[in-house]
Structure 1
Amino acid sequence: MSDLQISLLIIGAVVVGGVYLFNWAQERKFRRKLGQAFDVERDDVLLGTAAKRGGRVEPQMSWADATAASQAVTDEAEPAMASAAHEPAPEPAFDAAIEYVAGIERAAPIPEAAIDELLTRTAACGKPCRVAGLRVETGQWEELARAGGDHYAALALALQLVNRTGPVNAAQLAMFCDAIRNSASKISAVASCPDTQAALKAARELDEFCAEVDVAIGVNIIAMDGQTFPGTRIRTLAESAGFKLEPDGLFHFRNEQRQTLFTLDNHEPAPFLPEQINSLSTSGITLLLDVPRVVDGPAVLDRMFDVGRNLAQALGGRLVDDNRVVLNEAGIARIRQQLGEICSRMEAFGISAGGARALRLFS
């Protein structure tokens, strides 16, 4: 090998090493910015006992709060553009307690086609995903449902760790990170994907707790002496009590904010479909309260039992539990106590029943 060839090999090695070090430094720099913007502390994600979590502030930050820490991304991406004076519309916060937050940063605006492709790929990862973009013109974070043009210098992407289908698994998280890294490599951007093993561990532990408190309280109204309740009668009484029959085959009892407090269902397998209920008859109906998704569960429980008593009286049925044991006041008091204990456990764990976090986890 000639001296010239050896020199060229040395120069090539130096160049490759320099590029690697530059990309490594850029990724570390962006990861610090992303952590500052969204307060991503994976070691503190709803782990341990409630006592250990007592003094912890939940790692949440709104898009507006993220601006100060992330403004440098916009300044580096488009130094010639001044920030607009108007305030951004308020958006929901990323929640690092229940989401894995990753990101992409680019020196120039990220192409719309790249954003659109990334949104499509991350939406197919098997868990709910949210995306925010740092808008070049304003220096503000905006939640993105679709690409919306070449206006963003950075993206933050959050994959939910747990829902009612279970915890995120290694394949889903790898698919999410691969989509982000592949997108970044195509457009000469820097990708940041935090430790996935810590996220998987947090997801498993969070899912274990959610499974323990994922309780529904049901009460049945059963026809007596082998009789049945006609569907027309059920619908009339349910609607007069405040229920509305919806496409899922359930009567929903909602509050002023249109949130479901409890439902009324057929005790038999057939759902209450609008086009069939008039010709339907059933041996019983069931009132159901989805505990993790309801604010002030004990009060809602009392309301559900009041409605149940009235329906039982009007239909000529009996109010019973799932073992067909007639419910008396002592039995209802025990159920109320158990419900209160579940709600207290959720509150101590940082997941208020019926709160935004609970509605996302228990969906």
Structure 2
Amino acid sequence: MGQLQQALLVVGALIIAAVVALNLWQSWQLRRRRARPETSSPPIKPSSGSELHAIEHGQREPELDDRPERVEPELAPVEPGRTRAPAPHIDPLIDAIVSFLFELPVPGEALQQRLPRSSRAGTKPMLFEGRNAQSGLWEALQPGARYVELQAAVQLASRSGPLNAIEYSEFVTKCHALGEALGAAPDLPDMAEALEQARDLDNFAAANDAQLSINLQAQGVAWSVDYLRQQAQAAGFTTTLSAGRLALVDVMPASAGPGETDIAEPGRPVSMVQLQFDAQAALADNPEMPVSRATLLLDVPQVPQALRPFARMREAAQRLGQALDAKQVDDNGAPLSHTSLDQIEQQLQRLYAALDARSLPAGTATTQRLFS
């Protein structure tokens, strides 16, 4: 190992040590501030009864009526599994979660105004949910509602890679600042455990990601853009996503498969397969601009298995190939036979099974976030 490599290793170790030290110091500072009387601007004051307190300049909103204040009934403690709304956003399967527990319910609009300006930590998105004081369910913060607990989360992994130490430190810094504004100490997850979970999740996602394509190559004369669009619409591609991109859209069936209860409401449109071709040709003023290649693309983790997206893609490719006099080829131009497509479908079933075993069925909101 050269001297330069040794020096880089030392510098990296020092940076990680500094991040850990910074997180510990911020936690100590927040506990110290909460232990002594505040002399600066006060943190947000939870509301009770019919009064809502303004969060700036110590002003108070006008009373809604002259009725006496009422005390919000206490809620039962949250169980470890968390009471979840039907369509949750934050999910411990793919998020590192920080909790803020309030002594009294806090208005949703007050919490919204205290959230960080940027809802990202590096490349990773951050999400916020409150536990509704009336329903006890976790939900996105809503004006007019009141919350007894807040959760902030940062996504552990995505297609850009796992959460790293710098991103986690940025997330913790924002949570400390939010805790100061709310007057509630954040309950932080262990950094080493969070980063280990992020690496494990990223390894799983990398091993079970799949974006399948079938290319249609003109065998004779190229097609015009208008003719390609007409044939694509006849094959079911009715939704225009952007220049050179159409989508085959279907709706969720009334009954979803096991573990698919949060995919979408029955009847909700789902984009299954995309048809892509030359965007410059699509934007050209000449509708007769020739196009000789088009690609059908399926992003497997993004689409519910119940919709049979790969079978639908094969059917659309067959129909389009006949209408356009095109052959089906892979990305290298090699012909795609029925046998090779059957083998891909068998491998696809194993991928679906792996996602299900991890409680991440294809097409669920959580899975879509992970594979994005």
Return the offset for 1:199: 0.9
The structure 1 segments of at least 4 consecutive aligned residues displaced by more than 6 Å after TM superposition are: none
Q: Quickly say closer, same or farther: Cα 1:359–1:114, change in 2 above 3 A.
A: closer
Q: Distance in 2 between matches of 1:124 and 1:159?
A: 7
The amino acid across from 1:260 in the alignment is S
| Per-residue Cα deviation, 1:212-259 (whole angstroms, up to 9, x for no partner) | 22211111111124x311100110011121112424331101111321
Q: Distance in 2 between matches of 1:251 and 1:274?
A: 14
Q: Quickly say closer, same or farther: Cα 1:149–1:127, change in 2 above 3 A.
A: farther
The amino acid across from 1:333 in the alignment is D
| Structural mapping, 1:49-68, within 5 Å | none
The amino acid across from 2:340 in the alignment is G
- Answer yes or no: is 1:127 the counterpart of 2:124: yes
TM-score under structure 1 length normalisation? 0.68
| Structural mapping, 1:33-44, within 5 Å | none
Contact 1:297 1:339 in 2 (8 A): no
The amino acid across from 1:261 in the alignment is M
Q: Quickly say closer, same or farther: Cα 1:345–1:189, change in 2 above 3 A.
A: closer
Contact 2:34 2:183 in 1 (8 A): no
The amino acid across from 1:232 in the alignment is D
SS across alignment from 1:81? coil
Q: Quickly say closer, same or farther: Cα 1:90–1:317, change in 2 above 3 A.
A: closer
Contact 1:298 1:340 in 2 (8 A): no
Match of 2:96?
Answer: 100
Return the offset for 1:198: 0.7
SS across alignment from 1:97? coil
Contact 2:164 2:195 in 1 (8 A): yes
The amino acid across from 2:100 in the alignment is I
The amino acid across from 1:355 in the alignment is T
Contact 1:184 1:190 in 2 (8 A): yes
- Answer yes or no: is 1:171 the counterpart of 2:182: no
Return the offset for 1:128: 2.5
SS across alignment from 1:200? helix
| Structural mapping, 1:326-337, within 5 Å | 326-337=335-346
SS across alignment from 1:326? coil
Gaps of 5+ in 1: 1-15, 24-77
Select 1:238's aligned residue among 226, 232, 244.
232
Q: Quickly say closer, same or farther: Cα 1:315–1:293, change in 2 above 3 A.
A: same
SS across alignment from 2:186? strand
Return the offset for 1:152: 3.2
Q: Distance in 2 between matches of 1:150 and 1:302?
A: 45
Return the offset for 1:311: 0.9
| Structural mapping, 1:278-357, within 5 Å | 278-296=287-305, 299-357=308-366
Q: Quickly say closer, same or farther: Cα 1:139–1:247, change in 2 above 3 A.
A: closer
The amino acid across from 2:202 in the alignment is D
Match of 2:275?
Answer: 264
Percent identical residues? 29
SS across alignment from 1:342? helix
Q: Quickly say closer, same or farther: Cα 1:128–1:198, change in 2 above 3 A.
A: same
The amino acid across from 1:80 in the alignment is V
More helix by share: 1
Q: Distance in 1 between matches of 2:285 and 2:306?
A: 32
The amino acid across from 1:324 in the alignment is G
Q: Quickly say closer, same or farther: Cα 1:89–1:294, change in 2 above 3 A.
A: closer
Select 1:183's aligned residue among 169, 173, 178.
178
CA RMSD of aligned residues (A): 3.2
TM-score under structure 2 length normalisation? 0.67
Contact 1:91 1:142 in 2 (8 A): no
| Per-residue Cα deviation, 1:285-329 (whole angstroms, up to 9, x for no partner) | 111111222222894222211211111111111122222222222
Select 2:71's aligned residue among 80, 83, 93.
80
Gaps of 5+ in 2: 1-27, 36-68, 76-83, 252-267
SS across alignment from 1:278? coil
SS across alignment from 1:154? strand
How many pairs were matched up?
284
Q: Distance in 2 between matches of 1:109 and 1:139?
A: 12
